[in-house]
Amino acid sequence: MTQSIAEKAIKDGLGTLKKAVAPWSPDVQAAFAKVDAAGKAIALQLAAAIFTVCVKQRAVPVRAKGEEESAVRWENVAASVLDGVLDYHDKDESDTAKLAISRAFYKNIALNFFSSSPSSAAFSIVLRQNVYTLLCYTATHHSDNQETLRQLITPRKMGQAIYACRDSLPQDELLNTLGTMIPRVRKGQPENRARALQLLRECFDQPGAHPAGAEIARLVESRLDRTDWSETVEKIGALLARDITLCVYVPPWNGSRNDD
Ramachandran quadrant class, 66 (left: phi over 0; alpha: psi -120 to 50; beta: rest): left
What's the domain count of the chain?
A: 2
Q: Is residue 2 a part of any domain in this protein?
A: no
Task: Tell me, yes or no, whether 124 and 167 share the same domain.
Answer: no
Structural domain range at position 202: 154-260
- Following DSSP, what letter does each residue of 79-96 receive, concatenated? HHHHHHHHHHHHH--SHH
Q: What is the pLDDT of residues 61-113, one digit of tens each?
A: 999 899 999 999 999 999 999 999 999 999 999 999 999 999 999 999 999 99
- Torsion angle defined by CA atoms of residues 162, 163, 164 and 167, in that order, rounded to the nearest 10 degrees: 70
DSSP class per residue in 91-124? H--SHHHHHHHHHHHHHHHHHHHSSSSGGGGTS-
DSSP-derived letter for residue 186 is T
- In which residue ranges of the chain is pLDDT below 50? 1-6, 24, 246-260
pTM for this one?
A: 0.79
One domain for residues 187 and 250: yes
